[in-house]
Amino acid sequence: MRILVVEDEEIMAEMVALGLRRRGHAVDVVKDGASALEWAAVNRYDVIVLDRDLPVLHGDDVCRQLVASGAQSRVLMLTAASAVGDRVQGLELGADDYLVKPFAFDELLARVAALGRRTAPAHPPTVQVGDLSVDTARRLASRAGRALDLTPKEFGMLEVLATAQGRVVSAEELLERVWDTNADPFTNAVRVTMVGLRRKLGEPGIDTLRGQGYRLATS
């Protein structure tokens, strides 16, 4: 998933981003509300983790403007305010979910994953392509019952290909969905990661359609 973390407390922001990246997600971080709207306007995020008490532009206003713009991103609002009224207000602004600080990181991961499933086209938690099984919830993959030892980036690419349901996926889309904004658009990261993924996946593997992109082979 592609995730935007909007948090002005640097330690908190980096902790959340690091934990999400370790789960294989592509994560961008901004520290004020105005920047959040700018980044959301030019990048397609599955989930936006939005602190409520932000500088420059309050998180409430960010949420309102995201909803008004028709953005498809799901919003998980973070706040130190724990009163029921505060939670209700956040949801009434258009947030999809609400989490009170301090929070258990496993709960944050679970909520982000649930919101991501609502953003993406509907597909079962475990995607089956021939004898290949991709468990998107637990981030596990196996072939013919044999577990595949994939890196987070390899799994991220496999997840995008598996859930594409036979559609050709361009290298640009893989870079956008699996890496974050810091990735050089001219990098060979997709190609290098694809080499490792193909080696671990075996046959049938991943077809390259010259000038178009990649597609999971089914036979």
| Interatomic CA distance for residues 69 and 40, integer angstroms | 10
Residue at which a domain ends, from 74, 101, 119: 119
Q: For residue 73, give the nearest of 61, 60, 63, 85 by alpha carbon.
A: 63
Range from 60-64, 100-104, 118-122, 196-200 carrying the lowest mean pLDDT: 118-122
| Interatomic CA distance for residues 181 and 16, integer angstroms | 17
Q: Domain of 208?
A: 126-216
Q: What pLDDT was estimated at residue 83? A: 61
Which residues lie below 8 Å from residue 141, measured CB to CB, with a gap of 6+?
A: 132, 133, 134, 135, 147, 148, 150, 155, 158
Whether pTM > 0.85 for this model: the answer is no
Same domain, 89 and 140: no
| Total tally of structural domains belonging to the chain | 2
Higher pLDDT, 180 or 82: 180
Q: For residue 56, give the nearest of 33, 29, 22, 40 by alpha carbon.
A: 33
Q: Encode pLDDT of 12-39 as tens digits.
A: 999 999 999 888 888 999 999 999 999 9
Same domain, 133 and 115: no
Range from 129-133, 136-140, 156-160 carrying the lowest mean pLDDT: 136-140
Same domain, 135 and 167: yes
Same domain, 168 and 83: no
pLDDT exceeds 90 at position 7: yes
DSSP one-letter code for 205: -
Backbone angles phi, psi at 122, to 5 degrees: -60, 130
Residue at which a domain ends, from 119, 144, 175: 119
Contact 72, 97 (CB under 8 A): no
Same domain, 176 and 82: no
What is 41-55 written as a DSSP string? Answer: HHS--SEEEEESS-S
What is the spatial order of strands in the sheet that 26-30 belongs to? 26-30, 2-6, 47-51, 74-79, 97-100
Distance from chain centroid for Cα 46: 6
